[in-house]
Structure 1
Amino acid sequence: MTELRESVVTETVPAQRRVRPGDRPRAAVRSRPLLARVNAVAVLLAAVDGAAWLAAVLRTGPGPACAVVTAVALAGARVAGRVHRRRLWLSWLQDLPRSVTATALAFALVTGAGLVAGMDGDDTARMQELVLCFAVLSEAVRPAVFAVGRWGRRRLRRCDRAVVVGSGRIGGELVRTMLEHPEFGLLPVGIAASGPEPAPAGLPVERIDGDLAEAVARLRAGTVILAPADEGDGAIVDAAITAHRLGCVTLVLPHLFELCPDGPGVDRLRSYPLVWLGGAPTRRPSWWVKRAVETALAAAALVVLAPVIAVCALAVAVESGFPVFFRQVRVGMDGGTFVLFKLRSVRQAAVDDSQTRWSVVGDHRVGPVGRFLRRSSLDELPQLWNVVRGDMALVGPRPERPVFVHEFSAVHELYWARHRVPTGLTGLAQVHGLRGDTSIADRARYDNYYIANWSLWLDVKIIILTVGELLCRRQR
């Protein structure tokens, strides 16, 4: 018997199940104002680069085309190198290798552009001179920007309000370090225990014993720092997802942090390395690109596939009568529900048990037409309308019925976390063969991996794999 079926027949829900962020209504999730998320040092660094480019243009006098090409190369290289990123440690010497590398890449780009475009040698030389002049001017001013940033944090307390989630000595030391060194830009306002060991007493911050989301909103915290007591600390995962959903910056103190080297995504709070966790996918600008593209594709697919849907609907009507469309309540983003549309593949019974009964292979209620629709996934085509309406996305975790979401969340760790993003018509779990009567735990792991690693390219890969699944009629 599969793990799925074992979980479905489970009748007893653990009485002490933790309150999940996904269990709360949407109204409880309040994000920070946009202005509060703007980092002054990052803005100043970008302004310095802009001024340095303009001064270099006036100094070297290239033509308009050369100036534009150089601006694009510099902007692209420095954005890709995250030179203007938000940071805790304001150190020019620490940041110098990254900045020089980005400028060197821009130098290579303008040189390559000049060769590919067949520019005159003088024009290429002017672009190269412009980049070198920019580097000198920019690096001459950047130390002052970092100094002003440290001064503002120390004297003006221009710090981000932070909550520490951790137990015992480490949590207390992080709070004390932030209080003693405000130049790192963090002002601790609360500490919450994440394990059996209570939060340390005697600290000038609020001890959080209840709902973390409520405390973060009440304390107006913009950063959550996670200091797990051990690798199996489930409360830390809950806290990380809560912080993401509230739009907070999330930093993690890794295990064996004394041996953790500096690298991409690692910042420093004095001697403590803190790893920046990626923000919630739905808060990135690229997510709106995903939404716009998927809506357009779904609308176009509905128009093109309308004759196919009509033929399938006629076949359903001939086999088992009306209605030909099947409506079912499913759970979507943040635990909200919506009505999902499908072509009916199961013969109607006297009692409708579709909300609580799991469909498995060999179900006697499924006729030849229904089996064909399921095998070919043609019964899913009406869900394109759900995508157009905004209930679903083309790519995302597959939606499930409320009763099974409740049962699976009680049995399978982090199943509830799948609902951080909109559900989808296809997903990473489905293109890896996890459809129908398969492991729910594996599905949850694939879905959470998808959310943690989401990108537009990952969506494209999943769509390509889905097409391959449908055309080759095979499972991975």
Structure 2
Amino acid sequence: MSGVPDPDPTDRPGLETTAVLPYAGSRASTRTRALRAWMLTLPVDVVALLIPLLVSQTYWRGTLAYAALVVTVFATGGLYRARRHLGILDELPTLCGRLLSCGAAVAIIAAVRHESVPYVSGFMRDVALCGVLVVVGRAGTRKLILVARRRRWMEHNAIVVGAGPVGQELARLLRRHPRYGLRFVGFVDAAPQRPGPVPLIGTLDDLERLIPALDCDVMVIADPDCSEAALMEVLLRPVSAGCNLWAVPRLWGSRSQAGYPDHVGAIPITEIGDTTFTGPRWAIKRASDLVLATVAAALLSPVLLLGAVATFLEGGRGVFFRQERIGRYGRPFQVVKFRTMRPVDEFESQTNWSIAHDRRIGPVGRFMRRTSLDELPQLWNILRGEMSVVGPRPERPHFVAKFSATYPTYAMRHRVPVGLTGLAQVSGLRGDTPISDRARFDNYYIENWSLWLDVKVLLRTVAEVLRAGGR
């Protein structure tokens, strides 16, 4: 409030960033650093699978089905997950195995549907061609990614969490070999400063400052001097959760989720499953949000119009109510709702927890709040990308600060976009219910997200609205 900006983390005592930076600066721009390997690999795979259609459209249905099956099998098998060590020979057994299994599946279907041997044999020739092209395309994309990494056009700033022997060796390898695509920017650990020659740029509690200051988007967990519970509490905070997490397994020999091991030098390394929505998961969720919000806005336009008219008749001008809420990664935004009452002032609007029994709420406002119809204008927030259809409900800054200080897991809700409805709300946690329970349900939703879970929450939301409207 004094008008003096917070000091930069790199200017604080003990945070000697320049002492550990391996080079003066990264050549990767913000745009190229945002690129992920799957953004190149997936389109090349699709093109390779569809090339036979340029030669002949005789088997177009089978070719499209085969392409969809291969991409689905590759995705579920981890072949679009990020990897640090890239090599086509490492991937070849997995690629060939999945291509052969998909080819066998479509061969059986083709044989059942078509009795003509020439037809089936011609189709299988196209399938074999697709398989060869996929392998060739993979080899080309891997070579291209490695060249981009070596020239530092496609690298990510990485903090190593843990300054022990494993962490030090990992940092040495990342400095020496840009082929892994990680630019080491410093060590972070629980202790203020380990004895010895390894300087730290900060402690675990400094990560929320260091990540934006150093433009870091990857954290590698080596051998931190703290318990796993303390480490996870830090890593699941909104700013930390925006980074990709990699870890050196405590039990060496562990295999990665992709089905074949990944490594940096001779150190095994594995990507920790998404604790937030990034990459293909975010693309899928955002696409579903846009479709659902657009369809809902069109179908519910009469309801929105009636709600606006009823709100105007009861309360006069100012049909919509805008209020600051906290969204993904702790960023504020203006949520839009139908006005159900008029607060005395802005302070009351931001700090009054519950107005369910306030006498200033008229019959229309009370009905709209009971049925959640006052939330429908938030479809606009969804279309703008500020909210999702399903996710943790957004809260006001005053209460976010209060609850985050009281409940350690509350801030973890902001790893993902806030939602129009959420698992906590359809589980009965609305109004004056325990905040700890809400946080627990919201974090469960984040860590177990699937499209089907979103569908279940939406169906239960509709049931709750109909039940409340019938009271």
Using the size of structure 2 for normalisation, the TM-score is: 0.72
Report the alpha carbon displacement of residue 469 of structure 1 after superposing the two structures with TM. Answer: 1.9
Equivalent-residue separation in structure 1 for 2:271 and 2:177 (angstroms): 19
- What is the CA distance between 1:467 and its match in structure 2? 0.8
Q: State whether structure 2 residue 58 is matched by structure 1 residue 65.
A: yes
Preserved contact between residue 167 and residue 198 of structure 1 (Cα < 8 Å): no
Is the CA contact (8 Å cut-off) linking 1:397 and 1:428 kept in structure 2?
Answer: yes
What displacement does 1:165 show? 2.1
CA pair 94-230 structure 1, distance change in 2 beyond 3 A: farther
The answer for the alignment partner of 2:230 in structure 1 is 233
Does residue 471 of structure 1 match 2:466? yes
Following TM superposition, by how much is the alpha carbon of 1:303 offset from its aligned partner in structure 2, in angstroms? Answer: 1.6
- Give the secondary-structure state (helix, strand or coil) at the position aligned to 2:351: coil
CA displacement, residues 53-93 of structure 1 (integer Å, 9 cap, x when unaligned): 86xx59xx984232673365246414434435431233555
Given the alignment, which residue of 253, 257, 268 partners 1:272?
Answer: 268
Is this contact kept in 2: 1:77–1:105, CA < 8 A? Answer: no
Q: Deviations over 1:263-300 (max 9, x none)?
A: 33873333433224438536633344134224413432
Conserved? CA contact 1:48–1:141, under 8 Å: yes
Which structure would you say has the larger RCO, counting Cα contacts within 8 Å and 6 or more residues apart?
A: 1
Equivalent residue number for residue 297 of structure 1: 295
Give the CA deviation at 1:410.
1.2
Partner of 1:162: 158
> Are residues 240 and 116 of structure 1, via their aligned partners in 2, closer, same or farther at CA, if it must alter by over 3 Å?
farther
> Could you say which residue in structure 1 is the equivalent of 2:251?
257
Question: Deviation of residue 438 (structure 1)?
Answer: 0.8
- Matched with 1:102 is 98
CA contact (8 A) 1:240 1:250 kept: no
Corresponding residue number in structure 1 for 2:444: 449
- C-alpha displacement at 1:171, in angstroms? 2.7
Q: Which amino acid aligns with 2:337?
A: F
2:417 corresponds to 1:419: no
Is the CA contact (8 Å cut-off) linking 1:394 and 1:426 kept in structure 2? yes
> Which residue number in structure 2 is paired with residue 202 of structure 1?
197
Query: RMSD value over aligned CA atoms?
Result: 4.6
Q: 1:326 to 1:189 in 2, by over 3 A?
A: closer
Q: Pick from 192, 197, 206: which aligns with 2:188?
A: 192
Note if contact 2:217-2:244 (Cα within 8 Å) is conserved in structure 1.
yes
Structure 2 equivalent of residue 338 of structure 1: 334
Distance 1:347 1:183, change over 3 A: closer
Match of 2:348, SS state, is coil
Q: Distance in 2 between matches of 1:84 and 1:381?
A: 37
| Mean CA deviation greater in 447-456 or 360-369 | 360-369
Q: 1:354 to 1:125 in 2, by over 3 A?
A: same
Say yes or no: does 1:400 pair with 2:395: yes
Q: Look up the SS of the partner of 1:233 in the other structure.
A: helix
Name the counterpart of 2:20.
none
**Which one of 306, 326, 329 corresponds to residue 323 of structure 2?**
329
Call closer, same or farther: CA 1:90–1:443 in 2, change over 3 Å: same
Give yes or no for the alignment of 1:460 onto 2:455. Answer: yes
Q: Partners of 1:300 and 1:251 in 2: how far apart?
A: 43
Instruction: Tell me the CA shift for residue 404 of structure 1.
Output: 1.4
* Distance (Å, rounded) in 1 between the aligned partners of 2:152 and 2:403: 49
Cα 1:473–1:117 change in 2 (3 A) is farther
Partner of residue 126, structure 2: 130
Indicate the SS of the match to 2:221: strand
Relative to structure 1, is the Cα distance of residues 402 and 118 closer, same or farther in structure 2, using a 3 angstrom cutoff?
same
Which segment is superposed worse, 436-445 or 91-100? Answer: 91-100
| TM-score, normalised by the number of residues in structure 1 | 0.71
Using the alignment, how far apart are the partners of 1:401 and 1:218 within structure 2? 26
For 1:404-457, what per-residue CA distance to the aligned partner results, in whole angstroms no more than 9, with x for missing partners?
122112111132333344432211211111111111122123223334444444
CA distance in 2, matches of 1:85, 1:126: 33
Matched, 1:34 2:31: yes
Opposite residue 291 of structure 2, the aligned amino acid is: V
Q: Indicate how the Cα distance of structure 1 residues 279 and 32 shifts in structure 2: closer, same or farther if over 3 A, else same.
A: farther
Identity of aligned residues (%): 34
**Distance in 2 of aligned mates of 1:322 and 1:39:** 51
**Deviation per CA, 1:214-247, whole angstroms, max 9, x where unpaired?**
65566565532134532222576347743553xx
* CA shift digits 1:290-328 (9 cap, x unpaired): 3422441343244221464257537x82xxx65684735
For residues 432 and 260 of structure 1, do their structure 2 counterparts lie closer, same or farther at Cα, with a shift above 3 Å needed?
farther
Q: Which moved more, 1:409-418 or 1:88-97?
A: 88-97
2:434 partner amino acid: S
Unaligned regions of 5+ residues in structure 1, if any? 1-18, 20-30
Q: Kindly indicate whether the alpha-carbon contact (under 8 Å) linking 1:326 and 1:342 is maintained by their aligned counterparts in 2.
A: yes
- Distance in 2, Cα, partners of 1:358 & 1:91: 56
* Secondary structure, aligned partner of 1:65: coil
* Distance in 1 of aligned mates of 2:459 and 2:375: 17
The one-letter code of the counterpart of 1:73 is Y
Q: CA deviation at 1:461?
A: 2.5
> 1:380–1:285: structure 2 CA closer, same or farther, 3 Å change rule?
closer
Tell me if structure 2 keeps the 8 A contact 1:103–1:131: no
Q: Distance in 2 between matches of 1:347 and 1:138?
A: 61
CA drift at 1:199: 5.4
In 1: Cα distance, 2:153 partner to 2:308 partner = 65
What's the offset of the Cα at 1:107? Answer: 0.5
Asked if 2 retains the 8 angstrom alpha-carbon contact of 1:53 and 1:134, the reply is yes
C-alpha contact (below 8 Å) 1:191/1:199 kept by paired residues? no
